[in-house]
Amino acid sequence: MIRYRRCFQVDISHDYFLSRGEVVWEAQNDTMRAALTREHSVGRYLEIFPDAATEATLRGHRMLFRVTETGFLVAVRLDESAPDIRPAVAPGPEFALTFALRLRDARFANYTELGPVGDGFHLFGNDSANRVAGVNYLSRPVPAFDPARRYEAGEIRAEASGTTFDLFVALRDTGPAAAPVAADWRRIPADTFDATATYQLGDVVLAGNRLFRALVNGPGSNLNNAADWQPAGTLGNQYAGAADLATAAGSLFDLDVSAAALAQCTVRVFRGAQIVPASEQHFSVASGTLTHVQLDLRGLAPGPCRLEVLDGVLAPVASLARTVYLSTAALAQGWFGAIHIGPGVADFALFNANGTLRTPAYALRFLNRATRWRYIFPAAQSLGAGAEVALEGGSDRRMVTAVPRALTRFGGGVRLQADDTTTTASEEVLLPPPEPHRIRRQNAEWFSETHLPNLTVGP
């Protein structure tokens, strides 16, 4: 009897589609989570497919690739003669699979926060060693604050907090600074628990990266009271970003070494975690310094590589080290990035030490961009009481939110006027959330712009 079993799966999520406003998917109640999940399909924004070498590897190892609504999986034919669950064809130590990621939504970079080079090539893999709150992330860990760096609006940093991390997003360009400037950063995702609010049975709240579910109607404010609240998990809280940037390279690769002012250099190319270089090339000039060198990579198979540049006395130049993804197809076909799956180690391993299947699940999560929402009217527009926008720069026809707000597909708008409780009729006037097709970077911040007709507000 021929049997197949899942070898591994990759689940991809995006907060633009799975959050409601500032509230992340995990902090929604069961009904809302189910509704948001039904509306989310990775195929809306990403095309995923194995590259040519991986197709051959899958056939040779009797494996099947299948796209799912939440990502993809690979199944493997089992050894029918074995008493346990192991592949029919045992993978060797060099086993590797690459899955291309190509954008299907031209607006992806508008509603996705990927760091300062959002249109670069992104390399993800099960060599990330990024396991947080029981989740195996294929993205590299979000870095901690670097006092020597200048951060661009939208970049995120991590800060250890108990067993997990607090994440902070830059509201505007900031740094370098000895410590984070508090006014320039906001913690994400925001806690949803409000000690003064009234909750109902089944409601879920987020507090300090921990989730709690209400066990009764009207629970008390003590989240540690087991009669009122049930712990519902810990937020893993990791996102794809600048740490995953790599350089897509063809068989001939032009490397800029001008910043190091070298008269001669040696470039070593390493495959994966290997310590013996797969290629070593030497360059020099008779006078002056090198600006660009061309690496000949035609003898190397496609896949991730590490480049190390050494000076004239063979000392590494740290600023020139980089990760390169060698693939002519990635360049020719305009890949957004790639997922590279190898044998893995520890929780990321595909197989146990005895060769049996572990069937790991991997995760890749994208952060939705936050912008200041700007509304432009054809003529002077009045503000109502309790408005969540303000006139911008003395203009009487441009209004803007005070701080960036998350872009989400199912988010709400902002108030131009709060509800007037002095009358029996509702006087609340809402401005719609912006569409993601138009964003603008201005004065070290991101803005979303929406043109609207003038609206009537109360006195």
Q: Is the pLDDT of residue 342 over 80?
A: yes
Residue 459 has pLDDT above 80, yes or no: no
Mean pLDDT of 65-93: 94
Compute the distance between CA of residue 161 and CA of residue 289 in angstroms, rounded to an integer.
47
Share of the chain above pLDDT 70, in %: 97
pLDDT score recorded for residue 162: 78
Whole-number average pLDDT of the chain: 93
Residue 422 has pLDDT above 70, yes or no: no
At residue 423, the pLDDT reads 54
Cα dist. 173→11, 35, 132, 141, 374 in Å? 32, 36, 28, 22, 19
Report the distance separating Cα 284 and Cα 289, nearest Å: 8
Distance CA 262, CA 315 (A): 12
Using the predicted structure, report yes or no on whether residue 182 has a pLDDT greater than 80: yes
Confidence of residue 363 (pLDDT cuts 50, 70, 90): very high
User: What confidence score (pLDDT) does residue 420 get?
Assistant: 62
> 394: pLDDT confidence band, cut at 50, 70 and 90?
confident
Q: How far is CA 423 from CA 189, 420, 429, 431, 457, in A?
A: 36, 6, 15, 21, 14
Q: pLDDT at residue 249 above 60?
A: yes
Q: In the predicted model, is pLDDT for residue 411 greater than 70?
A: yes
What would the DSSP string read from start to end of 127-140?
Answer: TS-EEETTEEESSP
Strand ranges in 189-330 using DSSP code E only, listed in sequence order = 204-207, 210-214, 229-234, 245-249, 252-256, 264-271, 279-284, 292-296, 303-310, 322-326
**What pLDDT does residue 426 have?**
60
What pLDDT band is residue 164 in, cutting at 50, 70 and 90?
A: confident
pLDDT of 431 reads 95
pLDDT for position 419: 74
Distance of CA 216 to the CA centre of its chain: 36
Residue 295 buriedness (CB in 10 A; 0-12 / 13-18 / 19+): buried
Highest-pLDDT range among 245-249, 266-270, 298-302: 266-270
Residue 394's CB is within 10 A of a number of other CB atoms, namely 6
Q: How far lies 381's CA from each of 190, 262, 371, 374, 377, in Å?
A: 32, 60, 22, 13, 7
What three-state secondary structure class fits 226?
A: coil
pLDDT at 119: 66
